Structure 1
Amino acid sequence: MSMLYIMVPVTLALAITALIAYIWAVRNGQFDDPESQAYRMLFEDEPVRRNPPDHDSSPDETP
């Protein structure tokens, strides 16, 4: 019975800590969109398009 005097406050402290952590996570947007980041790796990035050179590199020109 004397063990309950220790276990009940410890359990309440852990429950309150978990509740505070959950409220903090909700307020900071941790649960806003949990699915899109998991699927992001499945999509390929657009290939980088390289512009052609602006100058004409014909052999007639001399530097």
Structure 2
Amino acid sequence: MNMLYVLIPLALMLLAVAVWALVWAIRSGQFDDLESHGWSVVLDDDQKPPPHPDDDKEEEKK
């Protein structure tokens, strides 16, 4: 029974941290656009990656 005096406040603190994390995620825009990153993998085949600066230096040395 004495353990409940520790577990109940601990559970309430854990709940408060979880609610704070959810509010922070919503306010910082973590849930604004959930689908565009998934579609970018499917639709991004035609674009070439930008050239890496080190690649130009290697070609000049050859």
Normalised TM-score (structure 2): 0.69
How high is the sequence identity, in percent, across the aligned residues?
A: 43
Count residues with an aligned counterpart: 47
Unaligned runs of 5+ in 1: 48-63
Q: Distance in 1 between matches of 2:18 and 2:24?
A: 10
Q: CA deviation at 1:19?
A: 0.3
Equivalent position amino acid for 1:45 in 2 = D
Greater gyration radius? 1
Q: Distance in 1 between matches of 2:15 and 2:3?
A: 18
Moved over 6 A (4+): none
Q: Distance in 2 between matches of 1:30 and 1:19?
A: 15
Aligned to 1:42, the other structure's residue is in SS state: helix
Normalised TM-score (structure 1): 0.68
Q: Which has the higher helix share?
A: 2
